[in-house]
């Protein structure tokens, strides 16, 4: 099945349903009213609007305005001021959580190589392989890492620890449960078919009943989930992670703010740790010296700390 882009389709991680929410930005032209709305969200709701693209924010806000039948930014900010439920809905709508198991399968071929490399090295030194899936949405990315670790005979799953983080609590709630309902438009079996090349029957790790997929205990035990805001919070750890996977968040972030976020990630990596970003994403030129390109097409980098 071909993958749709984040702006094409949004997956509701709570219900597992998929809905068309790609909305045109509001036609209101008063830039002051839009700026006032963003200032309110930044100051009162504590969401760093200034870090995200205006067009992205406008699409999300316009979608909420349609749902709440408000016609202008001014009307909508008034609604926000008086309605805590709408504040929550808007914040949740900023969290675009399109994701999937083994998203961009060819990238996962490279991730497998990195895991094998780290696993072999950890075996020699009797250490743990530490992985951070940052902005992990509802957990399918860290669970893909865990599935790979458990099924690939060249990776020692017992030595692999995976941390999944996201800014969205509802997404993390789904992640912790490890149960996914298949929406009509998404084929989870197809996503998991990446695992078919292994002799082992992967269904022993993912229980599948009708349209519900439940990750097995072994797979869930290798992953822990925590809330983390990549813009405002400190690194999850300093110099500890062998691999950070942070995919499909930077596309929504203004260029100037990618730098501090990538610095947070760089600080979290071991001296020669690996970084994988989304296929449509880039490392700003000013940070290129911190990361050596390992595979430009698949957006795989390796830390180059002095």
Task: Using DSSP, state whether 217 is helix, strand or coil.
Answer: helix
**x-or-dash pattern for ligand SAM, window 147-176, by CB under 6 A?**
-------------------xxx--x-----
List Cα–Cα distances, 176 to 43, 83, 136, in angstroms. 30, 29, 12
- Closest contact distance (angstroms) between CB of 110 and ligand SAM is 15
Q: Scanning residues 189 to 218, which ones bind ligand SAM (CB under 6 A)?
A: none
| Residue from the set 63, 97, 119, 146 that interacts with ligand SAM by CB under 6 A | 97
Of residues 10 through 49, those in contact with ligand SAM by CB under 6 A are none
Least separation in angstroms between residue 33's CB and ligand SAM is 24
Examine residue 248 and tell whether it contacts ligand SAM (CB under 6 A): yes
Judged by CB under 6 A, does residue 135 bind ligand SAM?
yes
Q: Is 137 in the site for ligand SAM (CB under 6 A)?
A: yes
Nearer of residues 143 and 291 to ligand SAM, judged by Cβ = 143
Binding-site size, ligand SAM (CB under 6 A): 23
Of 30-38, 81-89, 186-194, 243-251, the segment contacting ligand SAM by CB under 6 A is: 243-251
Tokens of 245: 């996977």
- Pick the stretch among 14-22, 27-35, 75-83, 133-141 that binds ligand SAM (CB under 6 A): 133-141
Binding residues for ligand SAM, rule: CB under 6 A, are 6, 95-100, 103, 135-137, 141, 166-168, 171, 229-231, 247-249, 278
């Amino acid at each position: 099945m071909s993958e749709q882009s984040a702006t094409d389709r949004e997956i509701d991680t709570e219900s597992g349903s998929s809905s068309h929410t790609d909305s045109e930005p509001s036609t209101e032209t008063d830039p002051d009213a839009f700026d006032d709305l963003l200032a309110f969200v930044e100051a009162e709701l504590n969401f760093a609007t200034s870090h995200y693209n205006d067009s992205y924010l406008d699409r999300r806000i316009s979608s909420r305005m349609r749902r709440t039948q408000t016609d202008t930014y001014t009307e909508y900010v008034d609604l926000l001021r008086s309605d805590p439920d709408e504040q929550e809905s808007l914040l949740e709508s900023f969290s675009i959580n399109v994701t999937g198991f083994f998203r961009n399968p060819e990238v996962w071929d490279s991730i497998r190589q990195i895991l094998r490399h780290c696993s072999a090295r950890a075996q020699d030194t009797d250490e743990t392989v530490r992985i951070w899936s940052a902005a992990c949405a509802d957990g399918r990315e860290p669970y893909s890492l865990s599935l790979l670790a458990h099924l690939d005979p060249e990776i020692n799953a017992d030595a692999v620890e995976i941390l999944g983080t996201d800014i969205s609590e509802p997404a993390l709630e789904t992640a912790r449960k490890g149960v996914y309902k298949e929406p009509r438009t998404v084929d989870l079996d197809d996503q998991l078919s990446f695992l078919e090349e292994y002799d082992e029957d992967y269904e022993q790790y993912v229980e599948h009943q009708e349209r519900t997929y439940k990750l097995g205990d072994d797979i869930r035990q290798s992953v822990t989930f925590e809330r983390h805001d990549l813009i405002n919070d400190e690194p999850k750890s300093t110099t500890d992670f062998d691999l950070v996977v942070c995919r499909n968040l930077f596309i929504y972030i203004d260029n100037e703010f990618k730098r501090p976020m990538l610095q947070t990630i760089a600080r979290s990596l071991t001296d020669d740790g690996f970084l994988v970003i989304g296929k449509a994403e880039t490392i700003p030129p000013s940070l290129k010296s911190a990361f050596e390109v390992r595979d430009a097409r698949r957006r795989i980098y390796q830390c180059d700390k002095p």
